[in-house]
Each structure stands twice: as structure tokens, then as C-alpha cells.
Structure 1
Amino acid sequence: MTHALTTPRHCIGAAQLPLAGFRILDVTSAVVGPYATQVLADYGAAVTKLEHPSGDIIRWISGRSPTPGMSGKFMHMNRNKRSIALDLKKPGTRETVYDLLRGSDVFVNNMRTDAVRKLGLDFDTLKAINPELIYCNIVGFGTSGPYAERPAYDSILQGGTGLASLFAAQDGGEPRYVPYVVVDRTAALMVANAILVALLARESQAGARYIEVPMFESYASLLLSEHLYGETFEPAIGSSGDKRLLDANARPVKTLDGHICITTNTDAQVLALFDAFGRPDLKQDQRFNNAPGRIDHIKEFFQVRAEEIARQGTAHWVRVLAEHDIPAMPCHTVDSLLRDPHMVDVGLVRTVDHPTQGRVKDIKVPVSMTGFEPSLRIPAPRIGEHTTEILRELGLDDATIGRMIADGAAVQAQGTDA
């Protein structure tokens, strides 16, 4: 059988796309896997999203949409991908997946070990089918530890890594979650990075590669690098926790009519801040005019800052702080962020026509690169939108594809048959 999905990288026409020609089979769901593969898809990788006929769970748990199963969050993590929907428990579908894998560079999954093994998608099986395959396994916890088979969600990991406790350490209240799936999103970028490293390494050393990205350890490593602090040294020369970040006043500062965000890390910035306040006397205060002094008197410094900022409105401080070259921005809401003049000017969020959802907001790739123009090549797909198209590329005839759809082994989104 001839497999159209095995087109060599150098034969791909869209040479302006940095990852053009690399093919990824993505069987992940929710956030961490889909966001990672969208990053790669945005740079030109051909991502095939393999879904169960019921679809990725994030289609259904993230709000309503004009067409069922097309939530906003799903659409913002699954553009530039094609969707094939197969029931891998049905006879014959496993061989179809193996055909897809023969023409793939990368396989990404975030299923539990037992499920992967039962479906015949474990590393040993797949590397025998494709000896050059990069196999990326996204897990909640590293498989060498006692938590290996535990389920992991972002909220669980925010608590487990100590992130939730930082709020209690800051204000003496209760631990709480960041209202953003920060562990999932951060781990997704680590997944994308690991895949890129493996693709680069394969250029000089052939052979299959196994990647394991544990979400718990990945985020814990970042949090510890920020907050291990005095405990870094043996013996410890202080407690854990960055006092500048954990102070109760290390938050947006209340103005006369709202809030503003300010950061002054250097002595020069702090001295400029005192000028902006009209308080040159503070520039002689040994508690504040040098970094070690501010660390030891951080509460007093933040208190002075709060008192001065409260005297004027947000617009005043945005203007005055900019005049003194002090990093500052208004504290936006999600809605006001969309109206921010810089956001509008760079066009990060644009309105486009989706073939089934009508007019939608699309978030552009923020990174620019010589020779690469970020583009929306494929709108976020409906469940199985490209099933027939992909099966034809694998060499299946229409009669066989029709039987698979009739038997429930495959799903083709209505009105989207190629």
C-alpha cells in the first residue's frame, strides 16, 4: 500500500514554514497535549488529531458554541490541525493507526499506561512499526515514582507543587488556585521544546526516541527555581520563598480610581520612582535606596509605594511612570485587554470567518521570525472533519471508508466530506 502521508520533508511546498514536512500524530486531549501540538502546527508541522468519536473532552467542558463541540477554548488550541475520528476498540482501526504512524515523525499521547498498552500504542510496539519515530508521553507524574499512575489535573498539580500555598504565604489566608490552567499550559511548552530537541537530534543520530514529560516535576522544577531561595545552600542560609514576591503588597497597586502594575527591580528604577512621587527625600533613605536594604525592609517599601500611588488615578501614573522610564501598565481585565491600544495595533487578536462557527476571534502567533509569516491555514476542526480525506490518503477506497463509518469505527463530520 502506498501511504501519501510519507511525503519527505524536503518535498513539502510550503518552505516558508519552519516545521514544514514534519508530521505529528496527536492522540492527546484537554489542554497540555493539544496546546503543545498547536504550537508546532503554527510553525508548519502537519498535525493529525486522532479523536475518539465523542471528541476531545475540552470541546464539551469549556462553554457553548454555535455548533456543539466547538468551545472557544478548544478552538484556541486546535487550529492548523486535521481531525480524524476513530474508535480504536473497533476491529481494523488499529491497523489504520499503524498506517498513520508509518508516515509520522512524532507520536504524542497523554493516556494512562494501561490504556496505551491495551490499544497497542506503547513505545515498543510503535518503534517496531516506525524505527525513526519520536514518541512523546505526557504524564502527570514521572513513571519511576510512587505517584506514577495517579490521575493529574491542573488544580491537583497547582496544589501538589506548592503553587496554591503561595497565596496563603503571601496574605495569611487560605491556599487557592490561579484561575488559569498554568501547569497544563507551561508543561505544554516543555512538551513542544522536547519534541523540537528530539527532531533536531534525529538529524545527526538516527533511531526512535522516547520522551517523557511529567507535569508534576516539570512545574515543581520551575517553582523551586523561583522559591527555593535560602534553602538552595547547604546548610541553608535562610528560608524558602522570595520575600519580594510573597509580601502581601506584591500585587497590583490601588490608585485613586483603579489599579496599576509596577515593577522596580534596580536601584535606578527605585530612585526614579521616588522622583515620580515627588519624594526626593526617599532617595537618601538607606532602607530603600539599595537592593539589600529593600529586601530587609520590603514591607515598609511597599507601604510607601501604596500610599503614594493612592493619591492619583491610573491614567496619571501610566503617563508619569512612563516619563520616568519605570515599568508599569494598567491592571487589565480580560475585556479591557482586548481594547488595549498596543494589542489593537499589533493585531494579536483578529476576527476571522470560521466555516461552521461564523465570525470568531483568532489569537495570532505572537512570535515573529525572518521568512515566516504566521497564518491560519486550517480552522479548528469539527470531530472527524478530515476522516475521509485522511483515510483516502492512506489508500483506502470509498467503499471501505463507507463501511468503517457505517460500523461506527470511524466518524466523518456531516457536511465536511472531502
Structure 2
Amino acid sequence: MAGLRVVDLSTVVFGPYCTQTLADLGADVIKIEPPEGDTVRVIGTPAHTPGMGPVFLRLNRGKRSVVWNMKSPTGRAALEKLLATADILVHNIRPEAVARLGLDYDTVRALRPDIIYVHCTGFGLAGPYAGLQAYDDVIQAASGAAALLPRADGNPRPRYLPMLFADKVSGLHATYAVLAALVHRLRTGCGQHVEVPMFESIASFNLVEHLCNATLVPPTGDWGYARQLDPTRQPMRTSDGWISVAPYVDDRWQRFFQAVGRLDVFERPSLADKTLRRQNMSEMYLLMTDLMPSRSTADWLALFKQIAVPAMAVNDIGGLKDDPHLQAVGLFNERQHPTEGAYLEVRQPVVFGGCTLPELRHAPHLGEHSDELLRELGLLPADPMPPDAR
């Protein structure tokens, strides 16, 4: 995406995750921030500088930060001149404020007719929830995600997944929407308005498997993919830790029980043939769970590799940096920030065979590139004026 300019007026995670991906792919991303900065700047404990928190570092590498007062004539003029040079605009401004700020699609399109205008919203603009505030927790609740764990484990209390699941998935939807709109522009010369609503994004994402039998009219069964909601399908305790095993297909179950000398389980009437075993998979999971404490995690992993049954140890997220596979593929890269010191960068997971992604500039300080952009736009002299010439 080198040579493409993205103006990023988004905050927190949803929009910035999209623009981070675009920056990783080589786009020139210009992050316009309010004087107090993006709120994500204060998440976590900074190494040295207030406003340079670790989550901000993770989400904003490769971007340039600009602080302009968009309500002042000078700031507005700078923004309009910048938008005239932009290929893509990404923002998450609430619908009622967009027109008031002069950032509606028609106004922006008048500055750059072929711009790709991406509006990251909480809820689709055509529905009754349009304009409501949306955060990850709210979307997890509205989309049914918070009600999935109770269906799986019997604890009736709804619970959030402990990650910014809705923000990040919606950010990926926004990314592919940008790329599709770019292809459209290459073919037609036309930009377009692109709406990416979180609620619809996560509802659609959840219903890939969980619409299930309700896909058909009339439904042939209940909503929810039974295998995913099976309370027996959980990590299993070994003698020294936890392991995840995914036999799934019948021949793998047979290989497992043969390897542990328990082919007798198939003499049970409930497990006598392939159809019965599929219907009563919970019983096989319970049998497997009972066997797991007899060996160490390493011993089980060696056996599962030998008999070609998918399995992995349960890692604590804090240990991923030391995972030998992730080290071998270079997912983590230790870099030196000019002011914040050493930090871990997590690269894009996709590997391109025909090109190399650029090494990106470090996450910026608030307003670090304001004057630089003004000079690029011809709104400041190319060289700073000496004091006696001011």
C-alpha cells in the first residue's frame, strides 16, 4: 500500500486496529488527535513518557500524529488540504456529530472525489440503534457473545470474553472493506462511502456457526453449534498442566483409544458405531478427560503427534513470547523507541511471498508530526524560520 495516504480520525481500538494494519501494509497513516490525545494512550503503564502507554505503542506503529484544532479556521484549512491529498479516511465519529464537524461524506467527497470514506460505527446507520454509543462490552452483550459461556458451562451469569473481541474483529472487517473499495476504485475510478457497524459485524461473526439449525425455515433444531457449546469440550488437566485435544473425526478417536489400550470403550452400546459415537461425543470427551491426569503434558503431546491427533498445551498468554514456534517465525521483534526504550513489537502474522513489508516508524508522540504535515501541505515554510525572521 505504499503511496496511499490514510487520514485516521478514529480512536481507541476499532478504527486504529484497521489503520494499524494499513500502516503495516505500507500506507502513510496520519493520525489526527485531539489536544488530550487518543484515550488509548493512557492504557497500561508507560516506560517514561505519559501518554505513551504500551497499548498505544502496539496499535499505532508506523503512524504520524497530528494535533490540529479542527474548530479553528487554521486547523480546518489544514484538515481540508490534507483530505484533498488522502486516498482513505477512517473515523468513528458519532453520526450526529459528523455533519456538525463538516466531515460528512458529501463534504469530504467535494475535497477528494475518489476518496474511500470509512465510517466505523457502533450500529448501522439505517437502524433504530443508530447513534447509540458502543463499546466492546456493549457489543458483546447485544450480539449474544456474552451469553455463549452460560450455554456452554451451565453458569447462568452472562460473561464477557476477556479481550477486546468486538473491536478487533470489527477492525478487521474495516480493513478488508478498505481493500475491496480500493479494488473498486482501481476498476472504476470511483471512491465510495463504506459503513462498518460493530453490532452487525459481531452478530454476523457469531452466527457463522451458531445460527446452525435455525438457518433453515422452519428451523430443524435450536440455535447454537452443539459441539462448540458442549461443556465436556474443554481443556483437560494432565499430571502437570493442561492440554487441548481435538480428535473430532471418528478415526482419530479410534487411534487415541487404541494407543491407550482402551478399545473396550467401543463395546459400550452408546459408542458401538460411528453414528452413535458422533451423537455421544460428550461421553468420549469425558473418558478422555479421565485419562489425561495419568501422564504429563509433554508425554501426551508426543503421543498425539505420533498418532496424528491435533493437540497443544494450554499456554498462559504471558508465556507466548517464549513459545519456540513463535520465536522461530519471528512474531516478536525487540525494538528501541527513541524515548521509551526497548519494547516488543508484534509483527503482522501474514507472510507475503512476493514482497517484504516495510520496517515501520515507532508509535508517535502526541502531535509529533504536526509541523511536518503543515510543511508538506505548504502551510509552513519548508525550513523553520530563524528567530530574527519571524
Q: Which residue of 1 aligns with 2:184?
A: 201
CA contact (8 A) 2:47 2:341 kept: no
Q: Which residue of 1 aligns with 2:48?
A: 66
Unpaired stretches in structure 2, ≥5 consecutive residues: 386-390
Question: In percent, how many aligned pairs have the same letter?
Answer: 38
Query: Per-residue CA shift, 1:299-341, capped at 9, x if unaligned?
Result: 2122111111122121111111111111111100012222111
Q: Which residue of 1 aligns with 2:378?
A: 395
TM-superposed CA distance for 1:266, in Å, is 1.9
Unpaired stretches in structure 1, ≥5 consecutive residues: 1-18, 403-418
TM-superposed CA distance for 1:34, in Å, is 0.5
Q: Aligned to 1:55, what secondary structure does the other structure show?
A: coil
Q: Which residue of 2 aligns with 1:105?
A: 87
Q: 1:39 aligns with which of 4, 18, 21?
A: 21
CA contact (8 A) 1:42 1:374 kept: yes
Mapping for residues 82-161 of structure 1, pairs under 5 Å:
82-161=64-143
* Cα distance change on mapping 1:286 and 1:107 into 2, 3 Å: farther
* Cα distance change on mapping 1:375 and 1:397 into 2, 3 Å: closer
Size of the alignment, in residue pairs? 384
Q: 1:312 aligns with which of 290, 295, 302?
A: 295
TM-superposed CA distance for 1:268, in Å, is 2.2
Query: Per-residue CA shift, 1:248-294, capped at 9, x if unaligned?
Result: 12221111121001112222222222233332333566745766434
TM-superposed CA distance for 1:349, in Å, is 0.9
1:381 counterpart = 2:361: no
What do you get for the CA RMSD once the two structures are aligned?
A: 1.9
Q: Aligned to 2:361, what secondary structure does the other structure show?
A: coil
Query: What is the TM-score of this pair, normalised by structure 1?
Result: 0.88
Query: Per-residue CA shift, 1:379-407, capped at 9, x if unaligned?
Result: 111111111111100001259999xxxxx
Give the partner amino acid of 1:392: R
CA contact (8 A) 1:134 1:195 kept: yes
Q: Which residue of 1 aligns with 2:388?
A: none
Runs of at least 4 residues of structure 1 off by over 6 A?
Answer: 399-402
1:369 counterpart = 2:352: yes
Query: What is the TM-score of this pair, normalised by structure 2?
Result: 0.94
CA contact (8 A) 2:149 2:159 kept: yes
CA distance in 2: counterparts of 1:357 and 1:292, whole angstroms: 59
1:335 counterpart = 2:303: no
CA contact (8 A) 1:84 1:387 kept: yes
Q: Aligned to 2:59, what secondary structure does the other structure show?
A: coil
Q: 1:296 aligns with which of 253, 275, 279?
A: 279
CA distance in 2: counterparts of 1:95 and 1:290, whole angstroms: 74
CA contact (8 A) 1:82 1:381 kept: yes
Q: 2:58 aligns with which of 36, 56, 76?
A: 76
Q: Which residue of 2 aligns with 1:168?
A: 150
TM-superposed CA distance for 1:106, in Å, is 0.5
* Cα distance change on mapping 1:111 and 1:393 into 2, 3 Å: same
Q: Aligned to 1:380, what secondary structure does the other structure show?
A: coil
1:266 counterpart = 2:239: no
Give the partner amino acid of 2:151: A
CA contact (8 A) 1:231 1:237 kept: yes
Give the partner amino acid of 2:315: H
CA contact (8 A) 1:79 1:376 kept: no
CA distance in 2: counterparts of 1:222 and 1:34, whole angstroms: 20
Q: Aligned to 1:212, what secondary structure does the other structure show?
A: strand
* Cα distance change on mapping 1:260 and 1:298 into 2, 3 Å: same
Query: Per-residue CA shift, 1:3-27, capped at 9, x if unaligned?
Result: xxxxxxxxxxxxxxxx111111010
